[in-house]
Amino acid sequence: MKRLAICMVIATVLFSMGISFAQEGLQGTCWSDRICMSGYFQVRYVDTDSKTESDNFDFRRAFFTIKGDLDANTTGIITLSRVGPNDPNIDLYNGFVDYRMGERYAIQAGQVPTWFGLEAWESSSVRLPFERAKVLEGGPGLFFAGAADRGVWLRRNPQGDEPLVVLGVWNGQFRADDLNDDKNISVDVKFNREWGQFGVSWFDGTYVQAPAGAPAVENDRGAVDVYVRKFADPWGFQAEWADGELMGSDIDGWYAQGMYDFQDGSNVAFARWEEFNVDPQGVGVAQTGSGSEYNGFTVGVRHKVYESSYITVQYTGGDWDSAGTNGTSAKSRTGSEDLLGIQWQYMYR
């Protein structure tokens, strides 16, 4: 997007927020009455036959969120996170203001989690399998570096059967500073029904790679996603397909997942099949080889120990077919994925 258009959008947002702040002001309540804290962590043990990985106890995720109501229309959210076994650092994951302009419209400004699709948008705390589908995260996929980014989002809340609609303007650099003048733009349309959810998401922009000691490489970043979910009652189903480009690679994939709720208040079984493909086009960093393909399945059971604690047992089997590195990974991945794991998730609020 052009610089002038971006500046006008941001100025309009801030000006409208400033007028409302001046009109409403704070309500005079104690700050401690308007603050709440929540979060969760996941620990797991994984047994694998992979030649490149070892059996491990893994502290997979930890999120701690502070949420405060500044006034009747304004909420501030800060989330600290520790994600992944190889990065022990604490990261500022979310940091934004959600300002509601009446019942119909709201603005989010700051470092905000993506609205894209279903699994990239939802918290990992509500997902049944351990990880998001590979096309969205661990392939590495379209949101391999995390779901949050910096920008401004306008939200139109639904009435009746209308969808939730979100328009966004954001850096597209995974919480890092932008390295060019272009901004990503996005549109997310989400329908909620008594039986389930469905929707479509789209975004378009650029991503700039700036490896140490090498010149920066700018390439296209964009994707489209469609999804549907039927809540388990007792049978459920969800499916999602995404197709896009990142770091000079064409990325596409899908999954289909069935669920069965035992309706005992404790146990849900699930089974998933997924496919993932990366096709390098030769313009990103370390573009060699002919990409990667993955086909695999996951089966498991999630058991609710008590209201704030879940134990999940799952098995994943799949096959990688890779002929070298690709734009989002310098590691060749060929062979089978054979993983048996147990995960404990604890939520605090």
pLDDT at 325 (0 to 100): 45
**Residue 152 corresponds to which tokens in the numbers above?**
């401004």
Q: Check: CB of residue 342 under 8 Å from CB of residue 313.
A: yes
**Residue 48 corresponds to which tokens in the numbers above?**
């694998």
- When pLDDT is averaged across residues 291-300 and rounded to a whole number, the result is 93
Identify the domain containing residue 184 by its residue range: 3-348
- In angstroms, the Cα distances linking 251 to 4, 32, 81, 261 are 32, 46, 27, 33
* CATH code: domain of residue 270: 2.40.160.10
Neighbouring residues of 160: CB distance < 8 A, sequence distance ≥ 6: none
Domain count, the chain: 1
- When pLDDT is averaged across residues 207-215 and rounded to a whole number, the result is 82
Q: How far apart (Å, rounded) are the C-alpha atoms in residues 158 and 229? A: 19
Residue of 242, 245, 187, 253 whose CA lies nearest to 218: 245
Sign of CA dihedral 159, 120, 346, 65: negative
Prior bond of 140 cis (ω within 30°) = yes
Give the pLDDT band (50/70/90) at residue 349.
confident
Q: Check: CB of residue 152 under 8 Å from CB of residue 8.
A: no
Sign of CA dihedral 172, 175, 178, 179: negative
Amino acid (1-letter code) at residue 11: A
pLDDT at 165 (0 to 100): 98
Residue of 272, 325, 323, 327 whose CA lies nearest to 300: 272
pLDDT at 272 (0 to 100): 98
Give the pLDDT band (50/70/90) at residue 326.
very low
Q: Which has the minimum average pLDDT: 26-40, 54-68, 148-162, 281-295?
A: 281-295
Residue of 131, 136, 109 whose CA lies nearest to 121: 136
Give the pLDDT band (50/70/90) at residue 331.
very low
pLDDT exceeds cutoff 60 at 286: no
Percent of the chain residues past pLDDT 90, beyond the cut: 66
HSE-up (13 A, CA, CB side) for residue 265: 3
Task: Identify the residue whose tokens are 């990325």.
Answer: 251
Give the pLDDT band (50/70/90) at residue 33.
confident
- In angstroms, the Cα distances linking 170 to 4, 51, 175 are 15, 40, 10
Residue of 189, 221, 195, 227 whose CA lies nearest to 208: 221
pLDDT at 243 (0 to 100): 98
Give the pLDDT band (50/70/90) at residue 345.
very high
pLDDT exceeds cutoff 90 at 16: no
Q: Check: CB of residue 93 under 8 Å from CB of residue 81.
A: yes
Of the two residues 298 and 51, the one the predictor is more confident about is 298
Sign of CA dihedral 242, 61, 293, 315: negative
Using only C-alpha atoms, the chain has a radius of gyration, in whole angstroms, of 21
Of the two residues 187 and 288, the one the predictor is more confident about is 187
Backbone angles phi, psi at 319, to 5 degrees: -135, 130
Give the pLDDT band (50/70/90) at residue 23.
very low
- Highest averaged pLDDT of the listed ranges 191-200, 210-219, 327-336: 191-200
Return the SS3 of 6.
helix
Give the pLDDT band (50/70/90) at residue 18.
very low
126 φψ region: left (φ > 0), alpha (ψ -120 to 50), beta (else): alpha
Over residues 313-324, the pLDDT tens digits come to 999 999 998 754
Amino acid (1-letter code) at residue 111: Q
- Tell me the DSSP string of 281-330: -S-STT--S--EEEEEEEEEEEEEEETTEEEEEEEEEEEEEESS-BTTBS
Q: What is the mean pLDDT of the chain?
A: 86
